[in-house]
């Protein structure tokens, strides 16, 4: 698949995944990370996922369940873990040498008596700061590597 097709398809597929597999309590934030020399796609994905887990902890979101595969992940989609009633999933796609990272936060709590989704706004409000912190941390790692 050529680069132009990938640039269109990656955001489209991420959006399609969001609408197909998430309920009304889902938040999606995306960021494009600069390419790092000498990293394979698998190594890049592993670095992004492990750093994202560290950033979640630092942002005051200690996951009470962490998928054991998240630290070893070399795939493009991974369920990272759970925090309160949120399920946190992330994706990493190579995009013209850079990484297109999407963070999905799914709220899976449903109040059967009221017939509505319960709202826990803290984590969705933190979705953008989480990815900003991830981007800052990974750019810092790159600067350390080049010194």
pLDDT in tens, 22-70: 555 566 677 777 766 777 767 777 777 788 888 888 887 777 677 666 6
Give the CA angle between residues 67, 129, 50 to the nearest 5°.
Answer: 30
The structure's pTM equals: 0.59
**Of 88, 85, 101, residue with least CA distance to 139:** 101
CATH number 3.30.310 is the correct assignment for the domain at 3-135: yes
CB 28 within 8 A of CB 104: yes
**Domain parsing of the chain, residue ranges:** 3-135
Q: Check residue 98 and give its pLDDT.
A: 63
Is pLDDT above 50 for 6? yes
pLDDT in tens, 63-106: 767 766 665 555 566 667 776 667 777 777 665 556 677 777 77
Bigger pLDDT: 123 vs 135: 135
Strand pairing category for 77-83 and 86-95: antiparallel
What single string gives the DSSP state of each residue in 54-87?
HHHHHTT---SEE-GGGGT--SSEEEEEEETTEE
Structure tokens at 60: 């005051």
């Amino acid at each position: 698949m050529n680069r132009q097709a990938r640039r269109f398809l990656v955001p489209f597929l991420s959006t399609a995944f969001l609408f197909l597999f998430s309920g009304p309590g889902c938040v999606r934030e995306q960021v494009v990370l600069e390419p790092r020399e000498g990293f394979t796609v698998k190594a890049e994905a592993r670095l992004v996922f492990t750093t994202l887990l560290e950033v979640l902890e630092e942002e005051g979101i200690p996951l009470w369940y962490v998928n054991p595969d998240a630290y070893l992940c070399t795939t493009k989609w991974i369920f990272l873990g759970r925090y309160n009633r949120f399920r946190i999933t992330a994706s990493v796609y190579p995009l013209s040498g850079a990484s297109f990272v999407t963070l999905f936060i799914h709220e899976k709590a449903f109040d059967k008596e009221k017939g509505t989704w319960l709202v826990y706004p803290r984590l969705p409000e933190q979705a953008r700061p989480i990815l900003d912190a991830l981007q800052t941390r990974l750019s810092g790692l790159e600067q350390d590597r080049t010194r």
